Amino acid sequence: MRRFLLSLALLCTCVSLMAARKITGKVSDSMGGLPSASVIIQGTTKGVPTDDNGNFEISVENGDVLEISFMGYSTKTVPITSKTPNVLNISMEEDSQQLEDVIVEVGYGKMRKSDLTGSLSSLGEDAVKYWGPVDWYNGGMEHVTRHLIYSRFWHKFLYDLGVVPNSEPYAKRTAQGLILGPDGEKMSKSKGNVVDPNEVVDQFGADVLRTYVLFMGDYEKAAPWSESSVKGCKRFIDRIWNLLEIAKDGEDYSKELETAFHKTIKKVSEDIENMKFNTAIAALMTLLNDIYDTGSITKGELKTFVKLLDPFAPHVAEEIWAELGGEGLLAVAQWPEYDEAKTVDSTIEVPVQICGKLRATITIAKDSTADEAIAAAKADAKVLEFLDGKNIIKEIYVPGKIINIVAK
């Protein structure tokens, strides 16, 4: 009897061992293996996820039913029988209805993906294509990580859902540099190096603050705060305001300043487009010096000057515009245009050497002939002084470069 019971127990164990077995397999779609797909025995909590390549291994018994699922795909079932192979290849197919039922968390709550798509689509496909991708996205250097999450990550997410037509949210991205404390360190209350912009506005005005911040250095690089440079920008703005005192009637460019204005319009226009605000302001400073060197400016020239100034110091620019009788707001006035041919100087400065030593520098027409250039040199007071009582042996003019006179 004992032998019979022992034999029966062994038989049942063998049958059980024969019935339980391991099955391996791979879950994939048309693109390849699906990671983290669910492979579970139907009606139980026994299951495994697929690995990074879509592979799995699970113990089953005859009569079990494997249920394979993955979000956005139709669920597959595989009955386990004695004829079921030990290696399974499960091919999943997308379920468009299931994708529509995906719940998306947005900033103000939750909504179905279909509703989100519908909401965004209500903007109009043409509008989405018109406004995107953004040409240029700019943000603070210290906020780069979060800005990328807000803009690029979410756009990628919406693109994967098929909501937006472009894979990237913007064509170009830049970040402005930090304004450091006067000590060259990042501003911090604990370091006591914080500059309050409100105090700067109260003392110097908003235009001075705005101009200085744009003038202080390369837009994308950090730069330390400089009180002396702020005062320099204040003097710059004051000198511009004082141009009203010497402005005379006339809308055309004067002969003395025509080239300088065309060169400055070109320089400022190009630098603004390239966000090189510091060099644009530097060009305006150079033009301002040229105006004071000339000693006069027409009202038409001053109108052009404040148009170029307006992006940097809009308040004083608008005031001068009004004083000159400009029509409407300066902010919406037509931007000045330049003539490329007039951006080239009509005159040049040429050094004059006598017997190999520099004795003078003269200004001549750019297209002067050798005879004209040498005649202009010999008419210069300093040159006449060194040639007095001497015989000229040789005269040389290298066009646009130098005049050399050999005399004994």
One pLDDT digit (tens) per residue for the chain, 408 residues: 555 444 544 444 444 444 679 999 999 988 888 888 899 999 988 999 999 889 999 999 999 999 999 877 889 999 999 999 999 999 998 876 655 554 444 444 555 555 555 555 555 667 777 877 888 888 777 777 777 777 788 888 888 877 788 888 888 888 888 889 999 998 888 889 999 999 999 999 999 999 999 999 888 888 999 999 999 999 999 999 999 999 999 999 998 899 999 999 999 999 999 989 999 999 999 999 999 999 999 999 999 999 999 999 999 999 999 999 999 999 999 999 999 988 887 778 899 999 989 999 998 888 889 988 898 898 888 898 888 888 899 999 999 899 999 998
Which residues belong to CATH 3.10.20.590 in the chain? 347-407
Q: CA of 87: how far to CAs of 24, 42, 80, 400, in Å?
A: 5, 19, 12, 86
Pairing of strands 76-79, 87-91: unpaired
Report whether 349 contacts 362 (CB < 8 A).
yes
CA distance 282 to 253: 21
Report whether 53 contacts 33 (CB < 8 A).
yes
231: Cα within 13 Å, side-chain hemisphere: 3
Domain 347-407 = CATH 3.20.20.80: no
CA distance 155 to 150: 8
Which run of H or E residues covers position 111?
A: strand 109-112
Amino acid symbol at 381:
A
Report whether 378 contacts 360 (CB < 8 A).
no
355: β partners = none
Decide: pTM greater than 0.85.
no
CA distance 360 to 70: 86
Q: Which of 252, 270, 256 is nearest to 308 (CA)?
A: 270
Q: What residues have CB less than 8 Å from 159, skipping those under 6 apart?
A: 166, 167
Q: Which fold has domain 189-344?
A: Isoleucyl-tRNA Synthetase; Domain 1 (1.10.730)
Write down how long the chain is.
408
Which residues belong to CATH 1.10.730.10 in the chain? 189-344
392: β partners = 407
Q: Which of 211, 179, 205, 213 is nearest to 193 (CA)?
A: 179
* Phi-psi map region of 290: left, alpha, beta (phi>0 left; psi -120 to 50 alpha): alpha
Q: Which fold has domain 21-96?
A: Immunoglobulin-like (2.60.40)
Amino acid symbol at 163:
V
